[in-house]
């Protein structure tokens, strides 16, 4: 074999090895000649471009491999030509869109390199390149997964609109724009009315479907440039972009009207839900998006206070909004006190009027300890706790603390006949709370007969089935019950036969000034007569004068409680009465 033949064979072997390598790699490869025309495509390039090698050979590269910027959609033809014609090394062109012959689009990462003429000593001179190589890796699946992950991170899975985190980000951007350019925007906070009724009546699947349909109702009333988000539960937010407060009010009112007229149908039933909304102008007065959202939430609260199913527009020095803001501050104080154990228990004695009873009967009273060590009476925070659904957490703290205290001092409480614990209406209607108390009774050793739970007449009537069930389950453990504020309800006597309680605590409105009010005297006598028939003891609250106490004893009331005989004292003082 001649030298030329050997060289030719070696060259053919190298070429064959080169072709097999190009066919085997997972990237698309296009080889161009010096004029920028296609000389070679490997199989991956054929697949992505839609051109076969035979069809593509000799065609301009921009015809076979149409690359555009993924953001601007502008052609990358010039960038490719420059990299191939003048590049001295591999040039990364970055992420791009490859548009195939059949109008399919692939997300690719592109690189280009010149093929130098090794026989030319001057690589910078024209003609130094024999052509070039384009390589592209298909990243469409990574792009799809990235978009999906981004979507899941920024959107609510149930309704498909953006979530709270993304809404906060966009609201921050809107606020920054308002402060920089003085453009007008508005924020709307929506809270559905009566949503819980749907969940309770036909289940959470129905509630989920209702939320999806409500989103469609809201979308019909906003513009394409506006932002809608689900902020949590049945709460939604809308940012009206570049919109005066007057125009935003019109759209907000339309949203509330449309929701009010909407009827949700599920499992053969029809439901009406309304919406209360707060509207706040987004302007330079706000320093943070959190302050904006709080103002919108407070305005929404004001809409509910005004009768629901309406829009309340926030104004500076808005009394209702300011009141709600103060309540929110109290709610945070309550949560902090629970976390830091900043509550203490006091007690007030309940005195027998008809018989000599050496046992001590006590009602436990809650106090909050503020950061300065001062005591805060429950009237300042229990109403807020009810409205912000914190009352059950407080009740759990009280019950857990009292049970632990009675267990620890069970040998020292033989002089105590009753320890009364007040429970909120929320706890009476909460089956989880019932199970919580039952579990504590079963695991905490002390005389359970000393415990008496006080529930208000109103909460018992509002949760009659749950109250009856709770009372029955506690009776098994010897726990007693008192019906507090008795007589305040419109139908007090009618519910007595349904509530197995031991004590009727007569509402204070009938006790104050009892000695001079004959109507109240008649009412108290009536309550005593009914209690005698039903076998319950009677307790008069707010007894502050000897004249009232004497009259109560004459009427036949069993116990009296008030400042006349005992002012609330720290719980530890109860041991001083032990003989």
pLDDT tens digit sequence for 16-41: 665 655 565 779 999 998 888 999 99
Which has the higher per-residue pLDDT, 554 or 493?
554
513: left (phi over 0), alpha (psi -120 to 50) or beta: left
The whole-number pLDDT of residue 324 equals: 72
Residue 536 and residue 502 in contact, taking contact as beta carbons nearer than 8 Å = yes
Q: Are 560 and 539 in contact (CB under 8 A)?
A: yes
**Site of tokens 């709307």:** 188
> Hunting for tokens 């004590």 — which residue is that?
503
Q: Coil, helix or strand for 234?
A: coil
The percentage of the chain sitting over the pLDDT mark of 90, rounded to a whole number, equals 61
Q: Measured between alpha carbons, how far is 506 from 524 in angstroms, rounded to an integer?
A: 8
Short-list 222, 211, 578, CA closest to 417: 578
**In 424-476, where do the E strands start and end?**
451-456
Instruction: State the Cα–Cα distance between residues 185 and 412, nearest whole angstrom.
Output: 66
Choose among 53, 77, 74: nearest CA to 63. 77
What whole-number distance in Å separates Cα of residue 500 and Cα of residue 156? 47
- pLDDT for 486: 87
Whole-angstrom Cα distance, residue 223 to residue 202?
Answer: 33
Is 548 or 103 the better-scoring residue by pLDDT?
548
User: What's the confidence (pLDDT) of residue 121?
Assistant: 47
Q: How far apart are CA 109 and CA 56, in angstroms?
A: 21
What is the pLDDT, as a whole number, of residue 59?
A: 93
Q: Which of 343, 351, 237, 243 is nearest to 300 (CA)?
A: 237
**What letter would DSSP give residue 282?**
E
The structural domains of the chain, ordered by start, are: 3-145 (3.30.450.20), 157-316 (3.30.70.270), 338-577 (3.20.20.450)
pLDDT per residue over 267-319, tens digit each?
888 999 999 999 999 988 888 999 899 889 889 988 888 888 999 998 766 66
Please list, residue by residue across 514-527, b when 16 or more beta carbons sit within 10 angstroms of its beta carbon and e when fewer do. Answer: bbeeeebbebbeeb
Helices (H) and strands (E) in the chain, counts: 20, 23
Show Cβ contacts of residue 53 under 8 Å, excluding neighbours closer than 6 positions: 40, 41, 46
Q: Kindly report the number of other CB atoms within 10 A of residue 212's CB atom.
A: 12
Read off the pLDDT of residues 116-160 as tens digits, 9 standing for 90 and up.
Answer: 776 654 444 555 668 889 999 999 999 899 888 988 999 999 999
Could you give the CA distance from residue 456 to residue 489 in angstroms, rounded to a whole number? 10
Among candidate residues 156, 168, 193, 234, the one labeled active-site is: 234
Mean per-residue pLDDT, 523-551: 93
Report the half-sphere exposure of 225 (CA within 13 A, side-chain side): 7
pLDDT digits (tens, 9 = 90+) for 103-116: 899 999 999 888 87
**Nearest in space to 18 (alpha carbons), one of 115, 163, 141:** 115
For residue 7, the model assigns a pLDDT of: 67
Mean pLDDT of the chain, nearest integer: 88
According to the model, what pLDDT value does residue 182 have? Answer: 81
Looking at residue 571, what is its pLDDT? 95
- pLDDT tens for each residue of 426-481: 899 899 999 999 999 999 999 999 999 999 877 887 788 889 999 999 999 999 99
| HSE value, Cβ hemisphere, 13 Å, CA-based, for 87 | 21
Residues 126, 129, 130, 133, CA torsion sign: negative
Q: And the tokens for 259?
A: 């929701």
If DSSP codes are grouped into helix, strand and coil, which group holds residue 414? coil
Percent of the chain with pLDDT over 70: 91
Q: What is the pLDDT of residue 5?
A: 67
- Residue 109 and residue 93: Cα distance in Å, rounded? 7
Of 112-126, 213-227, 293-307, 321-335, which gets the smallest average pLDDT? Answer: 112-126
Whether the CB-CB separation of 515 and 552 falls below 8 Å is answered with: no
How many residues are given for the chain? Answer: 579
Looking up tokens 């009273």 gives 365
What secondary structure does DSSP assign to 148-160, as a single string? HHHHHHHB-TTTS
- Give the per-residue pLDDT at 17: 62
Amino acid 404: pLDDT: 96
Helix (H) or strand (E) holding 430: none
Q: How confident is the model at residue 11 (pLDDT cuts 50, 70, 90)?
A: low
Q: Do the Cβ atoms of 367 and 343 come closer than 8 Å?
A: yes
CB 109 within 8 A of CB 137: yes
- Consecutive H or E run containing 302: helix 289-305
Whether residue 508 contacts residue 527, with contact meaning beta carbons closer than 8 Å, is answered with no
pLDDT at 318: 65
> CA-to-CA distance for 408 and 400, rounded, in angstroms?
12
Parallel, antiparallel or unpaired: strands 480-486 and 503-506: parallel
CA–CA separation, 42 and 18 (whole Å): 11
Q: How many CA atoms lie within 13 A of 156 on its CB side?
A: 22
Give the per-residue pLDDT at 19.
63
Per-residue pLDDT at 2 exceeds 80: no
DSSP 465-530: HHHHHHHHHHHTTT-EEEEEEET-STTTGGGGGG---SEEEE-GGGTTTGGG-HHHHHHHHHHHHH
Q: What band does 12 get if pLDDT is binned at 50, 70 and 90?
A: low
Look up 117 and say whether it is catalytic: no
> How far apart are the C-alpha atoms of 311 and 252, rounded to whole Å?
7
| Integer-rounded Cα radius of gyration of the chain | 39
Predicted local distance difference test score (pLDDT) of residue 254: 95
Distance separating alpha carbons of residues 82 and 274, to the nearest angstrom: 63
Distance (Å, whole) CA 253 – CA 172:
25
């Amino acid at each position: 074999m001649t030298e030329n033949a050997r060289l030719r064979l070696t060259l053919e072997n190298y070429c064959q090895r080169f072709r097999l390598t190009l066919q085997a790699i997972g990237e698309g490869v296009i080889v161009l000649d010096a004029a920028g025309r296609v000389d070679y495509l490997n199989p991956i390039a054929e697949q992505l471009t839609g051109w076969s090698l035979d069809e593509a050979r000799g065609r301009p590269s921009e015809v076979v491999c149409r690359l555009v910027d993924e953001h601007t959609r502008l052609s990358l033809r010039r960038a490719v030509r420059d990299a191939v014609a003048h590049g001295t090394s591999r040039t990364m062109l970055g992420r791009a869109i490859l548009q195939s012959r059949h109008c399919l689009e692939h997300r690719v990462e592109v690189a280009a390199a010149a093929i130098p003429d090794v026989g030319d000593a001057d690589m910078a001179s024209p003609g130094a390149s024999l052509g070039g190589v384009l390589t592209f890796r298909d990243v469409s699946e990574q792009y799809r997964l990235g978009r999906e992950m981004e979507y899941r991170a920024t959107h609510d899975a149930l309704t498909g609109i953006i979530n709270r985190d993304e809404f906060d980000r966009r609201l921050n951007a809107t606020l920054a724009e308002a402060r920089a350019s003085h453009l007008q925007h508005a924020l709307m906070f929506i809270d559905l009315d009566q949503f819980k009724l749907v969940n309770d009546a036909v289940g959470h699947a129905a509630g989920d479907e209702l939320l999806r349909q409500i989103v469609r109702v809201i979308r019909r009333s906003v513009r394409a440039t506006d932002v809608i988000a689900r902020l949590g539960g049945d709460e939604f937010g809308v940012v009206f972009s570049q919109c005066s407060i007057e125009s935003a009010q019109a759209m907000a009112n339309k949203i509330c009207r449309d929701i009010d007229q909407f009827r949700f149908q599920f499992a053969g039933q029809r439901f009406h839900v309304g919406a209360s909304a707060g509207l706040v102008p987004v302007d330079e007065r706000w320093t943070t998006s959190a302050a904006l959202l709080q103002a919108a939430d407070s305005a929404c609260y004001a809409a509910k206070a005004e009768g629901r199913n309406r829009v309340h527009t926030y104004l500076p020095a808005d009394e209702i909004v300011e009141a709600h803001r103060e309540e929110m501050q109290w709610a945070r104080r309550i949560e902090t006190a629970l976390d830091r154990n900043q509550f203490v228990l006091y007690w007030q004695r309940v005195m027998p009027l008809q018989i000599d009873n050496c046992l001590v009967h006590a009602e436990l009273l809650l106090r909050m300890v503020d950061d300065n060590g001062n005591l805060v009476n429950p009237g300042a925070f229990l109403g807020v706790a009810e409205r912000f659904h914190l009352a059950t957490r407080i009740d759990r703290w009280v019950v857990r603390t009292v049970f632990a205290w009675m267990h620890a001092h069970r040998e020292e409480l033989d002089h105590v006949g009753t320890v009364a614990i007040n429970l909120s209406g929320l706890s009476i209607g909460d089956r989880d709370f019932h199970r919580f108390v039952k579990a504590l009774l079963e695991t905490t050793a002390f005389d359970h007969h000393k415990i008496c739970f006080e529930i208000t007449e109103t909460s018992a009537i509002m949760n009659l089935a749950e109250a009856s069930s709770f009372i029955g389950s506690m009776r098994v453990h010897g726990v007693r019950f008192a019906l507090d504020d008795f007589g305040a309800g419109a139908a007090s006597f009618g519910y007595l036969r349904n509530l197995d309680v031991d004590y009727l605590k007569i509402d204070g409105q009938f006790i104050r000034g009892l000695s001079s009010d004959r109507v109240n005297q008649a009412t108290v006598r009536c309550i005593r007569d009914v209690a005698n028939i039903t076998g319950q003891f009677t307790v008069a609250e707010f007894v502050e004068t000897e004249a009232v106490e004497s009259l109560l004893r004459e009427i036949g009331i069993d116990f009296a409680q008030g400042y006349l005989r005992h002012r609330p004292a720290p719980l530890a003082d109860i041991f001083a009465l032990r003989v």
